[in-house]
């Protein structure tokens, strides 16, 4: 059985806390590895390594830092298939989905290759008599990322690629449920030429998280996970003066207008609602058909599609989706389906009884579909994070617009329509951070920013794109004048450009 430690000082090291956690293979239910859970002392060792290495890395010119990132991208592409299979076997998502996970992370690493341009400051000659003003972006020092199980390649790269390119050293605390790929990514960064100590990986649970939050040398923290933990990390980090960006849960709606291409909308709902077994913060979990006729047409097409979903192993190339990440995750989703039935929603398709032949101990769950869900139900209010789609019928466009706008979460939303005016109005007015128009999962490309509103996001700056450079750097502004031999005398009022 594999034993997974930590990655500190440029190499994998064994855990010393004496605590471990099981890493399962979701498609079989078997334990495939033991991962060490870091103590406060082990986190501190990683931070000390990072702090010692960071000044020299920050002094390395941006173009050379970019070359390391370029080489890293090349190495990940070389090992693409191996990384995807490892990811699939630890997480449960299918291999094609795992490749998408890796690719979306790589795109941010590619964006970070432009760091020589992205870190350029501003310059004004002659801002005053003989005075020039310029600004520069400088790294923060040691920064950290706490990342979730559902994207064990993408989210770590979203965090460490821009941070390291900016000249910081990075502490990564990935999910202990699927730590294999983050460890491999750290190895590839070293192979790409990154100095030892600039990227450290500490595996662990709450003890490691709290150690990162309380460490005085960690200047900024990025987090992705559930909303309660996002709020906890944001508040605790703020108390110690750290810069923080935390992204939490979601309840993403898809509005189906009467004029929508119904086949396109159903395809979108099936892929975005059930892909990766619904374990995505950008999964569509609420469909909102506008008008009874639209709702009836939608359900007529949705029911057979959900019933015919092909659930398979993580390595089955024909599977629509694979197992969930743990047995506890399966039981949690089943409990929400039970709640929905008790609340009076119509369970049009029930996936609770699904068993995978030959893999009876795996963490499988069939697709479920609810109709006649109302906004006061828990299955509407709370994030289920599984292969469950809820249909909330809206009588008109204004009611449909209000549903995602009034919801506690504000991560992503989509509208399906042929009406450009309706789409434009919706995009302008909906109170949600990311909007798709005939696009079911509106995850922006790497050079735009990713982030939700309301209880889906805490902090002023978002992930990747220009915001990532702003988050991982601090701006210094210099006002300079070189004496020309003219004596002005003392000035006692505040300087102005009058």
> Which residues are identified as catalytic?
281
Q: Angle between the 206-214 and 40-59 helix axes, to the nearest 10 degrees?
A: 50
SS3 143: strand
Q: Write out the H or E segment, with its range, that includes residue 138.
A: strand 131-139
* Largest Cα span, the chain: 90
Cα(480)–Cα(132) distance, rounded to whole angstroms?
A: 5
Q: Angle between the 62-78 and 80-91 helix axes, to the nearest 10 degrees?
A: 70
CB of 109 within 8 A of CB of 72? yes
CB of 27 within 8 A of CB of 92? yes
Compute, in degrees rounded to 10, the torsion defined by CA atoms 178, 181, 186, 192: -170
- Residues with Cβ within 8 Å of 402's Cβ and at least 6 positions away in sequence, in order, are none
Cα(101)–Cα(399) distance, rounded to whole angstroms?
A: 35
* 76-90 exposure pattern, b = at least 16 Cβ within 10 A, e = fewer: beebeeebbebbbbb
Burial of 271 (0-12, 13-18, 19+ CB in 10 A): middle
DSSP string, 275-296: GGGG--TT-EEEEEEBSHHHHH
* Pair of tokens at residue 177: 């449920």
Q: For 46, which DSSP code?
A: H
CB of 147 within 8 A of CB of 159? yes
Burial of 426 (0-12, 13-18, 19+ CB in 10 A): buried
SS3 304: helix
| Cβ atoms within 10 Å, residue 204 | 28
- Residues with Cβ within 8 Å of 359's Cβ and at least 6 positions away in sequence, in order, are 27, 28, 29, 313, 323
């Amino acid at each position: 059985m594999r034993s997974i430690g930590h990655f500190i000082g440029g190499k994998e090291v064994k855990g010393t806390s004496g605590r471990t956690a099981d890493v399962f293979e979701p498609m079989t239910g078997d334990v495939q590895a033991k991962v060490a859970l870091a103590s406060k002392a082990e986190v501190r060792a990683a931070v000390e390594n990072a702090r010692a290495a960071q000044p020299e890395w920050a002094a390395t010119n941006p173009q050379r830092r970019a070359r390391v990132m370029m080489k890293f991208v090349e190495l990940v592409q070389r090992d693409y298939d191996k990384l995807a299979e490892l990811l699939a076997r630890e997480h449960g998502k299918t291999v094609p989905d795992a490749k998408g996970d890796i690719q979306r992370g790589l795109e941010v690493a590619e964006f970070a290759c432009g760091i020589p341009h992205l870190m350029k400051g501003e310059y004004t000659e002659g801002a005053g008599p003989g005075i020039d003003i310029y600004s520069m972006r400088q790294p923060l020092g040691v920064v950290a990322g706490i990342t979730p199980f559902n994207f064990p390649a993408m989210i770590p790269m979203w965090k460490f690629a821009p941070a390291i390119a900016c000249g910081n050293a990075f502490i990564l605390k990935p999910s202990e449920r699927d730590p294999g790929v983050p460890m491999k990514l750290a190895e590839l960064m070293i192979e790409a030429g990154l100095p030892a100590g600039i990227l450290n990986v500490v595996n662990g649970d709450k003890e490691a998280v709290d150690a990162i939050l309380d460490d005085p040398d960690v200047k900024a923290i990025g987090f992705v996970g559930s909303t309660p933990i996002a709020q906890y990390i944001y508040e605790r980090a703020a108390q110690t003066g750290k810069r923080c960006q935390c992204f939490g849960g979601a309840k993403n709606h898809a509005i189906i207008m009467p004029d929508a291409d119904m086949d396109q909308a159903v395809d979108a709902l099936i892929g975005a609602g059930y892909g990766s077994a619904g374990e995505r913060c950008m999964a569509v979990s609420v469909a909102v058909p506008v008008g009874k006729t639209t709702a009836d047409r939608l359900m007529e097409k949705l029911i057979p599609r959900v019933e015919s979903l092909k659930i398979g192993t993580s390595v089955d190339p024909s599977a629509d989706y694979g197992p969930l990440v743990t047995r506890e995750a399966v039981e949690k989703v089943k409990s929400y389906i039970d709640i929905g039935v008790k609340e009076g929603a119509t369970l049009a398709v029930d996936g609770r009884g699904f068993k995978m032949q030959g893999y009876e101990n795996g963490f499988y769950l069939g697709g479920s579909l609810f109709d006649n869900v109302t906004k006061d139900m828990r299955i509407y209010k709370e994030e289920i994070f599984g292969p469950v789609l809820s249909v909330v019928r809206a009588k008109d466009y204004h009611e449909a617009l209000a549903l995602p706008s009034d919801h506690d979460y504000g991560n992503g939303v989509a509208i399906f329509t042929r009406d450009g005016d309706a789409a434009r109005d919706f995009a302008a007015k909906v109170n949600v951070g990311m909007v798709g128009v005939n696009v079911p999962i509106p995850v922006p490309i790497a050079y735009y920013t990713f982030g939700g509103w309301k209880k889906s996001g805490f902090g002023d700056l978002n992930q990747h794109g220009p915001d990532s450079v702003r988050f991982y750097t601090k701006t210094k502004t210099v006002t300079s004048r070189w004496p020309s031999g003219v004596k002005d005398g003392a000035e006692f009022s505040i300087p102005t450009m009058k």
